Amino acid sequence: MRNNPIGIFDSGIGGLTVAKEIIKQLPNESLIYIGDTARVPYGTRSKEIVTKFALELVDFLLRRKVKCLVVACNTISAYALSEIKKVSPVPVVDVLQPVVDRAIKTTKNKKIGVIGTQGTIQNRAYDLAIKKLDPKIKIVSCACPLFVPMAEEGLNHHQATKLIAREYLSDVIGGGIDTLILGCTHYPLLDEAIREAVGKGVILIDSAGPTVTELKKVLSEKNLLSNNPYLKYEFFVTDVPERVYQVASRFFGSDLKDKIRKVTL
Amino acid sequence: MRNNPIGIFDSGIGGLTVAKEIIKQLPNESLIYIGDTARVPYGTRSKEIVTKFALELVDFLLRRKVKCLVVACNTISAYALSEIKKVSPVPVVDVLQPVVDRAIKTTKNKKIGVIGTQGTIQNRAYDLAIKKLDPKIKIVSCACPLFVPMAEEGLNHHQATKLIAREYLSDVIGGGIDTLILGCTHYPLLDEAIREAVGKGVILIDSAGPTVTELKKVLSEKNLLSNNPYLKYEFFVTDVPERVYQVASRFFGSDLKDKIRKVTL
């Protein structure tokens, strides 16, 4: 079992920022990634539909005998985590709890900002998880619906992105936060525009780092760290128009063109 | 049959700009609209997937005994029209051919610009349809991937939209066009930003006007214009997060909150 791959899934290709971090922090692990590019984005969909789609992705990975599941999508983590844990016989690591833990450890003035898709922000999953651990923390949150398409277009340095970032983040900055949760796996691709909007005094917490640190801890505790020198990385999507290759390679940081396979759920 | 409703469908809520025009130009007609909000957008998906989804929407409308089908989506018109015509026993009007006919009639200098989603532009459906009627026309086309989310966010007057519009449209303007096809039903919501970017000398052709003029002609020829004074407008979507109500009402021009029903395909 310990040499089976890690299963990682997302609504689309944003979770590749987490996959990249797994390969960096856990270089002895094989992984299977699946992104539901035929039905992305999930951020504007209802809880019911997101849960239905998420369980189909989980089923795909479990049939491939993964040793654990990484929910590399904030919307799925916010809406469907308990349902996924119910059906999964293997450990499940999500992107929400590890990020919340890290943010609480990081903030000094007890003021945390949260940005994400409309689904993540409306669901208030980050707010509730933070308040559960420390009810005194002040939270300022804000949906940033244009950030996903802007990240996919590679507009980190574009003046339009800076304008939109400044507008979206004005309330968050006005709230005097010292820590900002990037509550969407796409947002690290806009880190410069976001950093410029919030200023140097604010620490950005993205999904990938804390999630993979937690994954490492879970695998170690359950004696599931691989000792197999033969690595295998597999990437599946549910639809592959030409654009997926370009955007996926941008998110993963290297060319995935011949490595992505299409699958029907 | 003639008093049966018009069936109109789209990948999401953009087609409501066409529904609105039907109600304006054909005030005696009932209609059923369906938008596939659970799987929108189609513009970045493959032809195979778009065709599969489109035929499910067609089936939904045919089962409700519509007297004709209006394909109020450029991606579906470009990818799946022949398949839809194969299965449909009622007349089919798409958004592509009427717009092409109108653009060819409009241009004086024989230079037409086409903007749309990545799917529509890559597919080259407008180029081919124009060239078929007049091979001498010069076409300059350009994908505008951020326009759909910007239209949905209601950013017609935003500086960021103007910057992006100017950038997207620079090649089109440089091509010396006198006519610009807005090859996506969302784009009329950004008409001011687009108009400002292209200047007053360029005539904008959107999907709704020419499509509904063609629909009127087809219904009249086939003796299918309604004589029933009892109108019924029905709106279906495949997923209804809170945001759909807001955006749909923006596109339709009046509040649809209590009028939209969710359906599973």
Per-residue pLDDT of B229-242, as tens digits, reads: 899 999 999 987 67
Residue B144 inside a domain? The answer is yes
Confidence category of residue A120, pLDDT binned at 50, 70, 90? confident
Question: B44: annotated binding-site residue?
Answer: no
What's the CA dihedral at B146, B147, B153, B157 to 10 degrees? Answer: 120
Extract the annotated binding site of A for substrate.
10-11, 42-43, 74-75, 185-186
CA-based nearest residue in chain B for residue A47? B241
Q: Is B144 part of the annotated catalytic residue set?
A: no
By C-alpha distance, which of B85, B76, B91 is closest to B11?
B76
How many domains in chain B? 2
Asked if residue B228 and residue B165 are part of one domain, the reply reads no
Residue A174 inside a domain? The answer is yes
Question: B126: annotated binding-site residue?
Answer: no
Among B190, B206, B222, give the residue marking a domain's end: B206
Chain B hits for A46, CB-CB cut-off 8 Å, are: 239-241
Out of A153, A159, A241, closest to residue B45 by CB: A241
For residue B231, the model assigns a pLDDT of 92
Out of A46, A158, A243, closest to residue B44 by CB: A243
Out of A49, A146, A241, closest to residue B46 by CB: A241
Q: Percent of chain A, pLDDT > 70?
A: 100
- What's the rounded Cα separation, in Å, for the pair B208 and B226? 20
Asked if residue B200 and residue B115 are part of one domain, the reply reads yes
Q: In this structure, what token pair is assigned to residue B82? A: 């022949």
- Does the structure show a pLDDT above 80 at B28? yes
* Chain A interface, best mutation among B13, B49, B155, B190, by max A CB count within 10 A: B49
Asked if residue B106 and residue B83 are part of one domain, the reply reads no
By C-alpha distance, which of A31, A81, A33, A32 is closest to A55?
A81
Average pLDDT, stretch B106-114? 98
Task: Name which residue leads in pLDDT, A258 or B187.
Answer: B187
ipTM surpasses cut 0.85: no
Q: What is the pLDDT of residues A52-84, one digit of tens each?
A: 999 999 999 999 999 999 999 999 998 999 999
For residue A45, the model assigns a pLDDT of 80
Q: How far is B229 from chain A (nearest CA, A)?
A: 37
- Look up residue A38 and give its DSSP letter: T
For residue A257, the model assigns a pLDDT of 79
For residue B43, the model assigns a pLDDT of 76
HSE (CB half, 13 Å, CA atoms) of B46? 13
Asked if residue B163 and residue B102 are part of one domain, the reply reads yes
- What's the rounded Cα separation, in Å, for the pair B129 and A263? 33
Average pLDDT, stretch B12-39? 94
Structural domain harbouring A110: 97-206
Q: Which residue has the tokens 């970017």?
A: B197
For residue B250, the model assigns a pLDDT of 87
Asked if residue A196 and residue A103 are part of one domain, the reply reads yes
Chain B hits for A264, CB-CB cut-off 8 Å, are: none
Chain A hits for B239, CB-CB cut-off 8 Å, are: 45-46, 49
By C-alpha distance, which of B82, B134, B74 is closest to B99?
B74
Q: Classify burial at A180, counting beta carbons within 10 Å of its beta carbon; exposed 0-12, middle 13-18, buried 19 or more.
A: buried
Residue B1 inside a domain? The answer is no
Asked if residue A158 and residue A177 are part of one domain, the reply reads yes
For residue B123, the model assigns a pLDDT of 84
Out of A49, A152, A164, closest to residue B239 by CB: A49
Confidence category of residue B41, pLDDT binned at 50, 70, 90? confident
- Does the structure show a pLDDT above 90 at B44? no
By C-alpha distance, which of B257, B256, B262 is closest to B236?
B262
Radius of gyration of chain A (CA): 18
Residue B170 inside a domain? The answer is yes
For residue A259, the model assigns a pLDDT of 87
Catalytic option among B68, B73, B142, B144: B73
Residue A122 inside a domain? The answer is yes
Among B164, B183, B206, give the residue marking a domain's end: B206
Asked if residue B254 and residue B171 are part of one domain, the reply reads no
Residue B88 inside a domain? The answer is yes
For residue A254, the model assigns a pLDDT of 83
Contact yes or no for B146 and A145 at CB 8 A: no
Residue A75 inside a domain? The answer is yes
A74 neighbors A123 (Cβ within 8 angstroms):
no
Asked if residue B145 and residue B112 are part of one domain, the reply reads yes
Contact yes or no for A241 and B118 at CB 8 A: yes
Asked if residue A227 and residue A101 are part of one domain, the reply reads no
B16 neighbors B237 (Cβ within 8 angstroms):
no
Q: In this structure, what token pair is assigned to residue B43? A: 């513009």
- What's the rounded Cα separation, in Å, for the pair B133 and B106? 14
For residue B38, the model assigns a pLDDT of 86
Q: What is the pLDDT of residues B50-88, one digit of tens each?
A: 999 999 999 999 999 999 999 999 999 989 999 999 999
Chain A hits for B152, CB-CB cut-off 8 Å, are: 145
HSE (CB half, 13 Å, CA atoms) of B113? 28
Confidence category of residue B39, pLDDT binned at 50, 70, 90? confident
For residue A234, the model assigns a pLDDT of 95
Q: What is the CATH number of the domain that holds A238?
A: 3.40.50.1860
Q: Classify burial at A25, counting beta carbons within 10 Å of its beta carbon; exposed 0-12, middle 13-18, buried 19 or more.
A: middle
Average pLDDT score, chain A: 94
Asked if residue A148 and residue A75 are part of one domain, the reply reads no
HSE (CB half, 13 Å, CA atoms) of B264? 3
Q: What is the pLDDT of residues B138-176, one digit of tens each?
A: 999 999 999 999 998 899 999 999 999 999 999 999 999
Residue A1 inside a domain? The answer is no
For residue B47, the model assigns a pLDDT of 87
A41 neighbors A34 (Cβ within 8 angstroms):
no
For residue B164, the model assigns a pLDDT of 97
* Chain A interface, best mutation among B170, B243, B244, by max A CB count within 10 A: B243
A236 neighbors A263 (Cβ within 8 angstroms):
yes
Contact yes or no for B118 and A39 at CB 8 A: no
Consecutive H or E run containing B121: helix B118-123
- Strand, helix or coil for residue A79: helix
For residue A240, the model assigns a pLDDT of 76
**What's the maximum distance between 2 C-alpha atoms anywhere in chain B?**
51
Q: In this structure, what token pair is assigned to residue B234? A: 């029905």
Asked if residue B249 and residue B233 are part of one domain, the reply reads yes
Asked if residue A213 and residue A90 are part of one domain, the reply reads yes
Beta-bridge mates of residue B237 = B35, B262
